[in-house]
Every structure is written in structure tokens, then in C-alpha cells.
Structure 1
Amino acid sequence: MTDLTGVCVPICTPFKDSGASLDLKSFEANIDSLIENGVHIIAVNGGTGEFPFLAEDEKRKLAEVAVKRANGRAKVIAQTSAIRTEDAVENSKHADGIGADALLILPPYFEGPGEAGVRWHYEQLAKAVKTPIMAYNIPVYTQFDITPEIYARFSEIDGIKYIKDSTADPSRIEKLAGQGAKVFCGCDFLNFFAIVNGAAGLFTGSGNVAPALIRKLWDLSKSTEYGEAEKVWAKLRPISRLLWTLPFNPVAKAGSAMTGRPAGLCRMPVPPLSAEEMKHVEDAVAALSA
């Protein structure tokens, strides 16, 4: 199994009927568009995919459709987290069975365990599946921080192959990469920094808005054409920062629609952007072609 590397886009989940149902036709079209624009990996049911507001059967359907639609043209990561270990195992077995290339898994959250309990959780998952696991570190939501030191210990578990770090701390990318971890940067406004400092990949919601430019940033940076990469990054910077300034998912969906990949509105209780907020998205999208 080849290592995962490159641009990973956590794809937006399109809805229809005012959020009542999945829009699988748009989902398939958006997968095609992302792949045609050079994305290496598509992640389903991530935070950008609004997983907290998806039913379990919806998440499984989206994963199945993504693997089938990608059809080897891009890798697919399925987010299979659950608070209960038994549920996470069942979710992961499903993704393993349909051919996902990796599983993105949070530590148990909401008054969850400490390091020993989180390690046990990952150990059970690693025993249950053959698919590589990407530990998902976003302590602002889980209240558990997978520090570089803790990840070094977790990586001793057979099956834990990657870490997505969404702390927005650049020193984390440097330290994880420096100790040999295959780290994916989960903070859009650190994308350029992350590539230059050894990240194995970018896990970037702004890829829903500007997939071709992010792929170009990746290629130029990996070729050490930093001057040209900086010019591309200047175009990407406004949308990359806006995602972390305004509500993330509504911005990702609005930008996705403005650049040819309609995904509907977010499912409530996440409301639409205001007119003023939408104007900020329009300006950031305009900067992509400046």
C-alpha cells in the first residue's frame, strides 16, 4: 500500500430539500471536479463534510459513493470516529470493507479519557481493520491534545500511520515532521508553511474552493520553486484565512458554489452566511484570479 501524500480535500456534503436529504448527484460531480483539478486525496465525512449533522447511514452512503466514484483516480479517506469505541470499530470496519485508503479517527471526546484510554481506543481500532489510521488532532473540540510526544508513542501501534494536526500551531508541523511523522496540516492558513517544513500532505477545506491552485502550490513548493509558489499563495491567502475567521463550513460551501461545485447550504442548526459575510467570500474568491 502506497503512502498517502499531497493535497487532501475534505469534501463538502451537498444537501437538497432544505437540508432534508443528500444530493448525491452533486456529490459525484464535485468529486469528479476535484479530481480533474489535481486533488490527490478526497476525505469524506470530515468536519467540512458536516459529520456531526449526518445520520450513520448517510455517512456510510457517502463513503461508498466516494470510493466508487473516485475509482482509483484519487485516494479516499473516510472519517469514522465515534465516542464509543465499539461504534468507531463498526464505522471503521465498514470503511475498511468498501476500500477506503485510510481512516481519519478522533480520540473519544466530551469528557473523554486521558492518554492511556485514548491509546486503548486506537489499539482496538487498529486490531479491527487493515486500513491505515490517521489520528485526528483537534484538541479545541476533543479536549485531548495528541502532542508530538504522545503521537510518537501512538505510532508504535501497528496501523497508526498518519496524523492530521489542526492545532493551528506551526511548531507542531515542524516537530512532527522532524521526528519522522507523516503529518497532514489541518489548518488552511498554514498550508504554504507546512509544505516547506516537511508535511506529508495538506488536509485543506479551501480545496473545495480552489483545488487547482492548491495543487499548483503543492507542486511548485515541492519543486522548490518558492518564488512562484509565493505568488500562488498570495492568491490563496484570503480564502485560507477567511475559513478560519468566519464560520468554516458555510464559507467552504459558498466558495465551492462560486467556483463551480454547488453543495447547497449547511444543514441546520448551522445557519447561512449573512449578506456581509457573503461579500467577504466573494472578495476572497475574486482574489483567486487576481
Structure 2
Amino acid sequence: MEKAKLAGINLAMQTPFNEDGSINLKVYEALIDKYIDAGVHGLVLGAGTGQHPYLTEAECNNLYELGVKRVAGRCNVICQTSALNVDEVIRRSRHAESIGADAIMVLPPYFEGPSDEDSLFSFYEDVDAAVKVDIVGYNIPQSTGISVSTALLKRLAELPHFAYIKDSGGDFAIHQEYLQTSVNVLNGADTIAAYAFMAGAVGAIQGTANYMPYEAVELYNLIQEKKFSEALSLWQRMLPSILLFWQGYYVQSVLRAAQLRGFGTGNVRKPLRGISAEQDAAIQKAIAPLIK
């Protein structure tokens, strides 16, 4: 079987902010180099970890243009083009395709959008008809209120460009159901990453890779090489921070951990708020096993 183009660790990249909430483009470009040097297979620009909901369309377009140029073919680039308005999704998607994105990632029409499967299918059908680039669907029911059923995923697989699903739901039973379809599955629930790779997920779109890119890549590679004992030993060092961050304040915690490990500024954009001193202490304790 041919290897999926987006196989491996696709790092859900942070957007580095200054203290005033403006984007630090110099740090952004430096981070791209650092993450590629760490061996990531792809970068997801405008990811949830990059605070996509709080970026304007113009900011996203600028980040994507700079990002694609900086990457210069050294790894895959996935651009999130999600929006509430379908016409905006299509406009964003066409822009991402035009500048050379390898794929686009599109949330279902969240926030009081349609939840029946015919409407959800129609939404992705409209996006699919507007582009020729690969589409990564997105299952994150805890955030959208919409769960992509296996039956719907099988229908979506019939669309010409719907090639991947990012599953951030965290339900391993559903994840394995997805794996029985023809769609390439990218794990998005950091807490089950090791087991998702073992079960057959082609890779991940991973937020916690922002602060442990080397470890994320090594874990994936060890499992591909069937070195399961070594992989699980590494996983035990990764797990304390993953479990902590999954409980809440995910973006803030990931960015602070990344800052502590030399990746980024640690700042968030409003309406998100920074972490407390107590949370900071917990973060430092949780990432301590990663320091050899």
C-alpha cells in the first residue's frame, strides 16, 4: 500500500505572540526552522493550538504565505481554512491551495450549524468541489458539538479530495472504527497517540509536539519500526504532561511548556488568559521527565 502523503507527525503549530497580542513573525519563521530540524513530517498552520479562532482571515493568509515560503518543500504544510460562513471557507481554502499548501483542514460547520448528516455531507461536498488539494476533515465533538459518525465518514470518502480525518475525540473505539474505512486517519487526541499509531493511524496532528517535537517524532518512528518496548518507555516520559494538559488550559499549557523548552514566546492572545503560578509549577513538574 502506498504511504499516505501526510503520514507522520504533523505539528499543530503555535502562533507566537508578543505580550500585546501581536504576532511575532520573526519568531514564527525561526520556529518553522526549529521544528523542521527536529524532524517533523508536516506543519499545520493556523491550528487550534495556533489560536485559529482568534486570528483574522488576513492574519491567517499572511501566516500561510510566509509559512509555505519558509518551509520551501522541506515538509508538508497543512493550512486550516475553517470558518462559520461556507463562502469564507471556500475563499480561504482556495487561497491556501493557490500558495502551495499540501492540504487544508476544515472543521464541520460549528456553532449552531446543521448536525444532520446530509447537511454535513453537503458542506464538505461544496468545499471539495471548490478545490483540488487534499482535505483533512476534523472530528472534535467536545468543541464543535458535532460528531462525525463512521457512516458519514464512509460517505465523505467518496468525495474526490476528502482524503484524511483528524480525530481529536479521544474515543479509541470510534478511532478504530474510523481505521476500518478508506480514509487516512490522523490522531488528534494526544492522550492515545502511541496506541493510535499501533492500531494503524497514518500519523497525527499533534499540539503537544510544540514543546516535544523530537520526542513526538521519535515515538512515531519507533512504532513504525515495531520497537514497541522502546516506544512505550518513551511514552511514559511524555505522558505526564499530556495528561495534565488534556484536563484543561490546553493551549496556554502547551505554549508555556514550549517556551520552557526553547520554542516560542509562551504568550497567548485574548480572550485566552495566561496561567497561574500554581499551574506553571505543575507544568514544570509534568515536563521534567522529558529532560534527560
Residue 179 of structure 1 deviates from its aligned partner by: 2.6
Give the Cα separation in 1 of the matches to 2:237 and 2:266.
25
> How far, CA to CA, are the matches of 1:117 and 1:162 in structure 2?
19
Please tell me whether residue 81 in structure 1 is matched to residue 117 in structure 2. Answer: no
Q: Quote the Cα distance in structure 1 between the aligned partners of 2:59 and 2:178.
A: 34
Query: 1:158 offset after TM fit, Å?
Result: 1.1
Distance in 1, matches of 2:121 and 2:157, equals: 10
Mapped partners of 2:89, 2:265: distance in 1: 27
For the Cα contact (< 8 Å) 1:27–1:263, is it kept in 2? Answer: no
Tell me what 1:45 maps to.
Answer: 46
Question: Structure 1: which amino acid aligns with 2:277?
Answer: A
In the TM superposition, what is the alpha-carbon distance from 1:178 to its structure 2 partner? 2.4
2:170 matched residue in structure 1:
168
| 1:249-260 matched pairs, under 5 angstroms | 249-260=251-262
Change beyond 3 A, Cα 1:164–1:189: same
**Cα distance between partner residues in 1 of 2:226 and 2:84:** 42
> What is the TM-score when the length of structure 1 is the normalising length?
0.97
Deviation at 1:264, TM superposition (A): 3.6
- Aligned residue for 1:180, secondary structure, equals coil
Corresponding residue to 2:228 among 226, 233, 254: 226
Counterpart Cα distance in 2 of 1:209 and 1:17 = 19
| Residue aligned with 1:35, SS | helix
1:204 maps to which of 203, 206, 228: 206
In structure 2, the residue matched to 1:122 is 124
CA distance in 2, matches of 1:128, 1:262: 35
Alpha-carbon offset, residue 174 of structure 1: 1.4
Match of 1:271 among 259, 270, 273: 273
Residue number in structure 1 paired with 2:133:
131
- What per-residue deviation string (whole Å, max 9, x for no partner) do you get for residues 199-220 of structure 1? 0111111100100011110111
Which residue identity is paired with 1:217?
A: L
Q: Note if contact 2:4-2:184 (Cα within 8 Å) is conserved in structure 1.
A: no
CA distance in 2, matches of 1:88, 1:263: 29
Normalised by the length of structure 2, the TM-score is 0.96
2:242 matched to which residue of 1? 240
AA aligned opposite 2:109? P
Within a 5 Å distance, the mapping from 1:144-163 to structure 2 comes to: 144-163=146-165
Structure-2 residue corresponding to 1:23: 24
Taking the aligned partners of 2:173 and 2:14, their CA distance within structure 1 comes to: 28
Report sequence identity in percent: 35
- Count of residue pairs brought into register by the alignment: 289
CA pair 56-7 structure 1, distance change in 2 beyond 3 A: same
Question: 2: distance between equivalents of 1:276 and 1:246?
Answer: 14
Per-residue CA deviation, residues 53-92 of structure 1 (Å, 9 max, x unaligned), is: 1111111111111111111111010000111111100000
Separation in structure 2 between the aligned mates of residue 17 and residue 243 of structure 1, nearest angstrom: 22
How far off its partner does 1:17 sit?
A: 4.5
The 10-residue stretch of structure 1 (108-117 or 39-48) with the greater mean CA deviation from structure 2: 108-117
Is 2:92 the partner of 1:91? yes
SS at match of 2:186: strand
> Per-residue CA shift, 1:104-133, capped at 9, x if unaligned?
001111111121111111111111111100
Alpha-carbon offset, residue 246 of structure 1: 2.9
How many angstroms apart in 1 are the aligned matches of 2:121 and 2:183? Answer: 17
Per mean C-alpha deviation after superposition, the further-off stretch among 43-52 and 110-119 is 110-119
Deviations 1:6-54 (Å, cap 9, x if unpaired)? 00111110111411x2101101111111110110010011110101111
Deviation, 1:289, is 2.1
Amino acid at match of 2:72: N
Give the secondary-structure state (helix, strand or coil) at the position aligned to 1:229.
helix
Q: Quick check: 2:9–2:41 contact (8 Å CA) kept in 1?
A: yes
Using a 3 Å threshold, how does the CA distance of structure 1 residues 12 and 45 change in structure 2: closer, same or farther? same
**Distance (Å, rounded) in 1 between the aligned partners of 2:68 and 2:167:** 24
Q: How many Å separate the matches in 2 of 1:2 and 1:140? A: 27
Q: Distance in 1 between matches of 2:222 and 2:4?
A: 22
Inter-partner Cα distance in structure 2 for 1:18 and 1:103:
29
Residue 232 of structure 1 aligns to a residue whose secondary structure is: helix
